[in-house]
Amino acid sequence: MKILTTVKRVTDPDMKVKIKPDQTGVVTDGVEYKMNSFDEYGVEEAIKLKEAHGGEIVVVSVGPSAATKEIRTAMAMGADRGILVETDEDLDSDAVARVLAEVIRRESPDIVVMGKQAVDSDRNQTGQILASYLDYPQATFAYSLEVADGWATVGREVDGGTATKRVKLPAIITADLRLNEPRYASLPGIMKAKRKPLETLTPSDLGVDTANKVNVLLFEAPEEREAGEIVEDIDTLIDRLKNKAKVL
């Protein structure tokens, strides 16, 4: 089975982001980057699929040359080869999906497993747009995945409970939390990853025009909430809720 998985280079989700004084973006100097958390689940699931069914894992990132680091991390976890579609532009989800669609047309994987959302731009669109462009079925927010007889059975985390959906392969699966427990890259894994093939392309090599449909014009900090009062005991809390906040 040929499995394609994607990794996005994002700012460390546990770091406080700072907005540039001119409000055109966020400060990137001195910022730590890592693989998008949800993509770790995607890569892990790709490895599990390969362990169960054999085959090959191709990991793809659309981003700056520095994103080779995240691709190497995925290869250290177990992916077999990497493709970086290099761009320094801030692409919207649609542009990323158009790039990924071209890569997928070239690679013809049996299944694509990716993160449900990126923790920086929080858009939760790329997988679904990609599925639409390829006319593939999609199973988003996956918490379980089983592949047999050319179909995937996917447990999905949805409002109000859980849902199960079957999709015919090739399909796009987007990973939610609890799909698995991403493994750490082992030292031998890291050594091996250095020798694994990594191809670099540009959007124009793929014939993709990356013009955005959505532009971010302004970055602002939200209003901060102020710390309130530490109350002594339950009676004081009830008094405050009744008389100050007036919510009881």
Partner 1 sequence: MANVLVVAEHLDGKLRKVTLPTITFASQAAALTGGEVHVLVLGNGVDAVAGEVAKYGVSKVHYANSPVFENYLAETYAPAVVKAAQAIGATVVAAPSSTTGKDLLPRVAARLDAGMVSDAIAVFDDGGIKFRRPLWAGNVLTTVEVVTPVKVVTVRTTDFEAPAEGDAASVEAFDAGVTAADNAEFVSFDQVKSERPELTDAAVVVAGGRGLKSGENFQMIMDLADTLGGAVGASRAAVDSGYAPNDWQIGQTGKVVAPDLYFAVAISGAIQHLAGMKGSKTIVAINKDADAPIFQVADFGLVGDAFEIVPALTEKLKSIV
Cα separation, 215 vs 212, in Å, equals 7
Cβ-count burial 39-63 (b if 16+ within 10 Å, e if not):
bbbbbbbbbbbbeeeebbbbbbbbb
Locus of tokens 């990853």: 193
Peptide bond into 170 cis (omega under 30): yes
How many positions of this chain bind partner 1 (CB under 8 A)? Answer: 80
In this structure, is the dihedral angle defined by the CA atoms of residues 177, 214, 106 and 133, taken in order, positive or negative? positive
Q: Note whether 217 binds partner 1 by CB under 8 A.
A: yes
Q: Among partner 1, ligand FAD, none, what binds residue 227 when CB lies within 5 to 8 Å by partner kind?
A: partner 1
Site string for partner 1, 96-125 (x = CB under 8 A): -x------------------xx-xxxxxxx
80 vs 157, which CB is nearer to ligand FAD? 157
The token pair that represents 133 in the structure block: 């462009």
Of residues 68 through 107, those in contact with ligand FAD by CB under 6 A are 87-88, 90-93, 96
Among 64, 143, 144, 190, the residue binding partner 1 under the rule CB under 8 A is 143
Would you tell me which residues interact with ligand FAD (CB under 6 A)?
6-8, 13, 25-26, 36-39, 42, 60-64, 87-88, 90-93, 96, 114-115, 117-119, 121, 123-127, 216
